[in-house]
Amino acid sequence: MQHPPRSNTWFEGLVHDIEPRLRHALVAVYGQEQGRDATAEALAYAWEHRERIKSRTNPAGYRYRVGRSRGRSRRLTPRFEPIEPERWPDLEPGLPGALTALSERQRLIVVLVHGYGYDRREIASLLDISASSVDTHLARGLEKLRNRLGVETHA
């Protein structure tokens, strides 16, 4: 028996391509539970408005902004959840507090680059900002982390 073609193949491809990046970014902003909820809401919105989204040049960036706006409407508080030292015994003990002290944008970019291995082009696309802005936020965030953790760099 032959099945009719699936009309949601485009959407499945979109979810496959953008869901991990979207989830990583929203979790970095809102924490695990709220970030995953914001991701689900952004993807549900994408399904409801899939015809409009097909014409977007940056669907991941658009979904990120929808996830953020849905979070604001639900009064989610951007926060960085504490990291349990027993789960990460090799982690610098002062890192969670130092990350919390960064601006939201700096923390997000530092976590995406050094926690998830994203490159600046991917982050620029996701956040809909220039690659040079990514570089600036990353450099400032890393400098603040070094200062807060008392790390000296030698040029």
- Same domain? 67 vs 8: yes
Number of domains in the chain: 2
The tokens describing 40, both together, are 């689900």
Q: Which domain holds residue 140?
A: 90-155
Task: Please report whether residue 85 resides in a domain.
Answer: no
Looking at residue 5, its pLDDT comes to 45
Tokens linked to 24: 């990583």
Q: Cβ of 93: how many Cβ atoms within 10 Å? A: 10
Segment 83-137, tens digit of pLDDT: 566 666 677 878 878 888 888 899 889 988 988 888 898 888 888 899 999 999 9
User: Global pTM?
Assistant: 0.64
* Residue 84, domain member (yes or no): no
Same domain, 54 and 94: no
Burial 29-51 (b: 16+ CB within 10 A, else e): bbbeebbebbbebbbebbeeeee
Last residue of a domain, one of 22, 51, 79: 79
Choosing from 20, 46, 79, the residue where a domain stops is 79
| 17, 75: one domain | yes
The three-state (H, E, C) secondary structure of 90-105, written as one string? CCCCCHHHHHHCCCHH
Angle at 71 between CA 39 and CA 9, to 5 degrees: 25
54, 79, 104: which is the final residue of a domain? 79
